[in-house]
Amino acid sequence: MATFTSLRHISKIASRHNFFVSSSPSLSLLPACTSSIRSFQTKATPPARIPEFAFAFDIDGVLVRSSDPLPRAHQALSYLQSHRIPFILLTNGGGKHEDERVADLSSKLDVSLSTSMFVQSHTPFADMHEYKDKTVMVVGGDEDRCRIVAEKYGFKTVVTPGDILAAYPEVWPFSQQLLPYYKGFTRALPAPIDPTSPSTSLEIDAVFVFNDPRDWGLDTQIIKDVLLSEKGIMGTFSKKNGDASLPNKGYQQDGQPPLYFSNPDLLWAAKYHLPRLGQGGFREALEGVWAAITGGPSAGVTLQKIVMGKPHQPTYAFAEKRLISHRQHLLKQFDGRLGHLKRVYMVGDNPESDILGGNSYESPHGTDWASVLVQTGVYVEGTEPAHKPRKIVGDVWDAVEWATEQEGWSK
Ligand code: G3P
Ligand code: MG
């Protein structure tokens, strides 16, 4: 009988030697005793039961607050790993390549994670093969780290608003003092901006907002220029703009490129004690400028865009596909006996993304998605959430405890 001083020590040994740690006390005793000595029976045999349920964990406000892990996040994830209960991380965050983000989270949470169990806001952009050989504009993130992510996804020609500012500082008069910052990482444009020669001028084929813009002014200006241009040719202005005889008053009716947002979050839980504006805040600001320029909804004009990320169905479908293949890999020793994934517990802190998405997702596999709302992020304890979760709990460990009890697992 091995004895250990903490759950963290146990889970390290368990994951290193592929042991299954089965605790002699019931799960509900664990939180109170993680600091005391507990004796555990380590078994190398697979769990008696095949879990027919799994978890999808939101990150910010559930597992971490910016770079700080939340108190019982390690405990929750390592418990699931020691019981071979599958889970994925499903975040509207991003800004780094999946490899880098997973390595960060593995070390912060002291749990071994892999990209096969990880979906972030722009992960689905990697599948947009139709744009890989075209010229795309990537917006957001620190310096040009999102360009580097896009290139790792296979996009061959990537332009950023910073590249345009560095080449033509007059394009946005109010970021001149930031030029030294931009010149540290921007690249020469693949073509000049020359409205007198549209055929050789820089042409954008798609705009992807990968992560939260750091220079809202510049990025708003450049995206507006693209959307008002002729066919995405920078420096031009479409003659169709404002033509009331055309749909959307002629705006975005002249071959302008599609505009993709990766994250709808208006607010998110960072380190500060109050929620912060997210990528959805930038989009709302851009929509405000767009409405002021075009006349907006009262003139029958909207901003034509594609918004991905939680709570939208394609993101949950993408995540479910990844979860199912991760579960098959994790439980491959049950090949042939691995039944249908009956339920996924979607654990999140934001009613607008995690709970709404979990509640409204319709699984093509008939899997029940049960939303669980924690009180460690955007949602404020005691208030009525905008979207009613299956359960409200204190933190991520409470969510795991409640869900495993629902499944009769802790018995
Ligand atoms: O930018 C991150 C923020 O939008 C929220 O991320 O992990 O709570 O979906 P998450
Ligand atoms: Mg969150």
Ligand nearest to the backbone CA of 66: 1
Residues contacting residue 155 through CB under 8 Å, at least 6 positions apart:
131, 132, 136, 138
pLDDT-based confidence at 48, cuts 50/70/90? low
CA distances (Å), origin 92, targets 57, 175, 261, 278: 11, 28, 11, 10
For range 270-298, the mean pLDDT: 97
CB-CB neighbours of 191 under 10 Å: 17
For range 78-97, the mean pLDDT: 97
Beta pairing class for 53-57 and 87-90: parallel
Ligand 1 and 58: CB distance under 6 A = yes
CA angle 18, 20, 26 (to 5 degrees): 155
Q: What pLDDT digit, counting tens, does each position of 161-194 carry?
A: 999 999 999 999 999 999 999 999 999 999 999 9
pLDDT at 7 over 50: no
> What tokens appear for 36 in the block?
């005391």
Q: What pLDDT digit, counting tens, does each position of 237-255 carry?
A: 999 999 999 999 999 999 9
* DSSP-based helix, strand, coil % in the chain, nearest 5: 40, 15, 45
Residues contacting residue 302 through CB under 8 Å, at least 6 positions apart:
248, 296
Amino acid at 66: S
For range 328-355, the mean pLDDT: 93
pLDDT at 44 over 90: no
Ligand nearest to the backbone CA of 59: 1
pLDDT at 386 over 60: yes
Ligand nearest to the backbone CA of 310: 1
Q: Delineate the domains of the chain, giving CATH numbers in brackets.
A: 49-121+311-406 (3.40.50.1000), 124-307 (3.40.50.1000)
**211 C-alpha to ligand 1 centroid (Å):** 10
Give the C-alpha separation, 125 to 37, whole Å: 47
Q: 48 or 312: which carries more pLDDT confidence?
A: 312
**1 C-alpha to ligand 1 centroid (Å):** 42
pLDDT at 303 over 90: yes
Instruction: Indicate the average pLDDT of the chain.
Output: 89
**96 C-alpha to ligand 2 centroid (Å):** 17
Give the C-alpha separation, 45 to 255, whole Å: 60
**395 C-alpha to ligand 1 centroid (Å):** 16
pLDDT-based confidence at 46, cuts 50/70/90? low
> What tokens appear for 34 in the block?
């993680």
Q: 164 or 195: which carries more pLDDT confidence?
A: 164
Ligand 1 and 98: CB distance under 6 A = no
Ligand 1 and 263: CB distance under 6 A = yes
List the residue whose alpha carbon is closest to atom 8 of ligand 1: 60
Give the C-alpha separation, 338 to 331, whole Å: 7
Give the C-alpha separation, 342 to 323, whole Å: 12
pLDDT at 20 over 90: no
> What tokens appear for 367 in the block?
């899997």
**351 C-alpha to ligand 2 centroid (Å):** 9
pLDDT at 156 over 60: yes
Q: What percentage of residues in the chain have a pLDDT greater than 90?
A: 83
pLDDT at 346 over 80: yes
Residues contacting residue 273 through CB under 8 Å, at least 6 positions apart:
none
Ligand 1 and 262: CB distance under 6 A = no
pLDDT given for residue 29 in this prediction: 29
Q: Which residues pair with 90 in a beta bridge?
A: 119
For 280-302, the DSSP string reads HHHHHHHHHHHHHHH--GGGT--
Residue 387's closest CA among 395, 396, 398, 378?
Answer: 378
Dihedral sign computed on CA atoms, order 130, 136, 140, 145: positive
List the residue whose alpha carbon is closest to atom 2 of ligand 1: 93
pLDDT-based confidence at 47, cuts 50/70/90? low
pLDDT given for residue 334 in this prediction: 86
Read off the pTM.
0.86
> What tokens appear for 45 in the block?
């045999």
List the residue whose alpha carbon is closest to atom 1 of ligand 1: 93
> What tokens appear for 133 in the block?
């050989």
pLDDT at 41 over 50: no
Tell me which residues have their CB within 5 A of the ion that is ligand 2: 58, 60-61, 349-350, 377
pLDDT-based confidence at 410, cuts 50/70/90? low
pLDDT at 76 over 80: yes
Rg (CA), the chain: 24
pLDDT given for residue 236 in this prediction: 96
Ligand 1 and 215: CB distance under 6 A = no
244 within 8 A of 355, measured Cβ to Cβ: no
For 383-400, the DSSP string reads S--SS--SEEESSHHHHH
Ligand nearest to the backbone CA of 262: 1
